[in-house]
Amino acid sequence: MIHDKIIIALDTDSEEKARLLVEQLGDEAVFYKIGIVLFTKVGPAFIKEMKKRGKKIFFDLKFFDIPNSMALASIAGVEAGVDIINYHCLAGEESLREVQMRVAEYCVKGNYKLPLLIGVTVLTSVEGDEQTRARVLSLCHVAKNAGLAGVVCSPMEVAAIKKIYGKDFKTVVPGIRLPEGKLDDQKRAASPSIAFKNGADYIVVGRPIIQATNPKDAFQAIVQDGLNAL
């Protein structure tokens, strides 16, 4: 179901706005991203509330710290019920491997579902060129060797990543814009249909939905464009 593949980024500093958006989008929107801005405002209680409503959560804090701190923060996310957690690949293969092992072990012992643990490669606000592509693929190598389940990457690198690392290596893809939409600060962007055709497992959409006059209509436009690829 395509709705499970579309992650709405709650990139707002207002708990009231976040709640309103979730209400406006209703039952069809099932997956939300909570990043550093909103999480700093609302904390884990908001995540637990969203989980009780049947929503999935991408815990987008882009951890980049010593292994012990990243592992403990991840475990807090596990206890809150998050579905995806991400880490900067620049934290290094050894550190990420330790985090992955500790989180997996905690989930087994506590009978928790293991979230998708994924690596952040190069942000989509960075221009795309051969050097950027090479950096992304190099960081994918770090994530794969560390035992992570996949990476965050732009729509432009998905096909190459799938070719090298296989279809089971997950790609979570921001930088999504409809063909007629504003790019804002996104440099490596593409439509939902292009991202899915390239092999994206999930797409992340923020401003095209949350800044729309009618967020529900904007969400449906993303869904319809994405269906062209499936």
How many domains is the chain partitioned into structurally?
Answer: 1
Q: Residue 181: is its pLDDT beyond 70? A: no
What's the predicted TM-score (pTM) here? 0.94
Q: Residue 93: is its pLDDT beyond 70? A: yes
Active-site residue 60, yes or no?
Answer: yes
Of the residues 62, 187, 197, 216, which is catalytic? 62
Torsion, CA 60, CA 61, CA 64, CA 67, rounded to 10: -90
Q: Residue 126: is its pLDDT beyond 90? A: no
Burial class (CB in 10 A: 0-12, 13-18, 19+), 109: exposed
- What are the tokens at 193? 């249909």
Annotated binding site: 11, 33, 60-69, 124, 177, 186, 206-207
Q: Residue 138: is its pLDDT beyond 80? A: yes
Separation between Cα atoms, residue 95 and residue 67, nearest integer Å: 5
Active-site residue 168, yes or no?
Answer: no
Q: Residue 124: is its pLDDT beyond 90? A: no
- What are the tokens at 21? 């958006």
Confidence at residue 149, expressed as pLDDT on a 0 to 100 scale? 99
Q: Are 224 and 191 in contact (CB under 8 A)?
A: no
Q: Are 208 and 177 in contact (CB under 8 A)?
A: yes
Q: For residue 172, give the CATH number of its domain.
A: 3.20.20.70
Q: Residue 107: is its pLDDT beyond 80? A: yes
Active-site residue 65, yes or no?
Answer: yes
Of the residues 41, 48, 51, 65, which is catalytic? 65
Q: Are 128 and 160 in contact (CB under 8 A)?
A: no
Q: Residue 103: is its pLDDT beyond 80? A: yes
Which has more pLDDT, 185 or 108?
A: 108
Bridge partner residues of 84 (DSSP): 58, 116
Annotated binding site for substrate: 11, 33, 60-69, 124, 177, 186, 206-207
Cα end-to-end distance, the chain, whole Å: 10
Nearest to 152 by CA among 1, 43, 7: 7
Confidence at residue 125, expressed as pLDDT on a 0 to 100 scale? 81
Q: Residue 182: is its pLDDT beyond 70? A: no
CA 152 to the chain's CA centroid? 6
Question: What is the domain range of residue 119?
Answer: 2-227
Q: Residue 176: is its pLDDT beyond 80? A: yes
Separation between Cα atoms, residue 138 and residue 130, nearest integer Å: 12
Of the residues 5, 55, 60, 162, which is catalytic? 60
> Cβ atoms within 10 A of the Cβ of 138, count?
12
Residues 144-167: tens digit of each pLDDT: 999 999 999 999 999 999 999 999
Strands (E), 113-167: 116-120, 150-152
> Cβ atoms within 10 A of the Cβ of 141, count?
15
Identity (one letter) of the amino acid at 58? F
- What are the tokens at 227? 């269906």
CA 151 to the chain's CA centroid? 9
Q: Residue 203: is its pLDDT beyond 90? A: yes
Nearest to 220 by CA among 24, 15, 10: 24
Confidence at residue 230, expressed as pLDDT on a 0 to 100 scale? 75
Separation between Cα atoms, residue 57 and residue 80, nearest integer Å: 10
